[in-house]
Structure 1
Amino acid sequence: MSDPWEARWAASWTPAEVAAHLAGTTVPWCVAPGWALDLFRGEQTRPHGDLEIAIPAARFPEIRARFPGYVFDAAGDGQVRENATADQIAATHQTWLRDPATGDYRVDVFREPHDGDTWICRRDETIRLPYDEIILRNGDGIPYLKPELVLLFKAKHRREKDQADFDGTLPHLSPAQRETLAGLLTRVHPGHPWLTSLHGGGRRVIE
């Protein structure tokens, strides 16, 4: 996050806190980006500036109803529209849940493209998978996006934290997960530097 919004994310929730709000929902949701990789690895490996979850875009009203007393702002194109209207939300991908009493942001809701119960990748709409194939759960039952897809999204910008996340997660991936990620990168980002590491093999350290 960049100023002036970064400080307002200091009080963002943990995955367990947002999971408590969404307990019992039938909406297929999952923790995304950095926190998702930590849930996969079984521990928090670095500080997180915010918490992001992904949901099917059309089911946003059901998620919104789970947060009475909070408001959603629409974020996109370098702007944040507070108390966003339905049209403003529909025009964006990210919606930030804000506590109106403090002004703090708690969770960033990614409204993902989908076709019913089939998830559609924003980077390549020909990549389509059932939600039950892209969502995993940790020991506490918290849903998170499978690491192959998290790293696919992180591969585009390959910021310092993205590289660190890749390096730290790679030893935990099974051979099948490595193969899947390599195939996705070849399809979406041909020639990506991570392909060398993925094809290099290596021992999985977590069984």
Structure 2
Amino acid sequence: MVGIQDRAEEWDVRDGVTPFRGKVTGVRSEQVRMPDGSWAQRDYQLHPGSVAVLALDEEGRVLAQRQYRHPVRHRLWELPAGLLDVPGENPLHAAQRELFEEAHRKAAHWSVLVDFYTSPGGSDEAVRLFLATGLSEAEEERYAAHGEELELETAWVPLDELVALVLAGELHNPTLVTGVLALSAARARGAVDTLRPADAEWPARPF
């Protein structure tokens, strides 16, 4: 494959303002110069970035969790995930924390499954999704859940079943969809053992 690679690029910007900044995210409004020389307004969500974990057990089952998501008025099946809201935090350490807090699990082996932007037309959120294997119960005291996590449902689902549900239109969380399809593709190619190491560079969110 020649030339099929995303590349960093930044067009000229003027009149940038941040009219809203919430607890975690904000909204940025900018005038961006188009190729014909005109200026167009672009509004997008500012986001610290996220990490997620596809935890795979020895039976080929994936840890899935169902959680209420208010903006879409749905309970969605998802993968353990969380914000990179601690300045300078290593993404792997953040992923390990999320696996512990949401599933009370630890993993012996970690690798980068896939990196992606959730909605690059309207947000700068970048996600690093890790594959975690060699799972075991954590020894520490369980994390005290709060908010939506108080009604978190957990299931261990065979990977092939999740792929079928995604293709049938039954599952919609972008991280789960991306993760199960990526892992299925990696297994089909015999490439699971050649995934990037857990500390691979991540230009979208350097630390």
TM-score (norm 1): 0.28
TM-score (norm 2): 0.28
More strand by share: 2
